[in-house]
């Protein structure tokens, strides 16, 4: 469970949830990142999805 929590925090999940909630409250559209966008800054995603 600790590893799952660490991975969640490292991935910035709670920050994204907060951003989405704020955008919704403000009536704005929240940008949802694609795998290609994430792979550029996270090598493990590029490796997992063969986006190298």
**Residuewise pLDDT in 10s, the chain (52 residues):** 778 777 777 777 788 889 999 999 999 999 887 777 777 777 777 777 776 5
Q: Could you tell me where the beta strands, DSSP code E, fall in 1-52?
A: none
Q: For position 52, what pLDDT does the model report?
A: 55
Q: For position 21, what pLDDT does the model report?
A: 94
Q: What is the dihedral of CA 8, 13, 14, 17, to 10 degrees?
A: -150
Q: For position 2, what pLDDT does the model report?
A: 79
Q: For position 10, what pLDDT does the model report?
A: 72
Cβ-contact 39, 45 below 8 angstroms: yes
């Amino acid at each position: 469970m600790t590893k799952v929590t660490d991975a969640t925090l490292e991935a910035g999940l709670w920050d994204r949830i907060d951003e989405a909630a704020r955008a919704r409250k403000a009536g704005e559209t929240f940008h949802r990142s694609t795998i290609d966008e994430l792979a550029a800054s996270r090598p493990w995603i590029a490796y997992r999805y063969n986006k190298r």
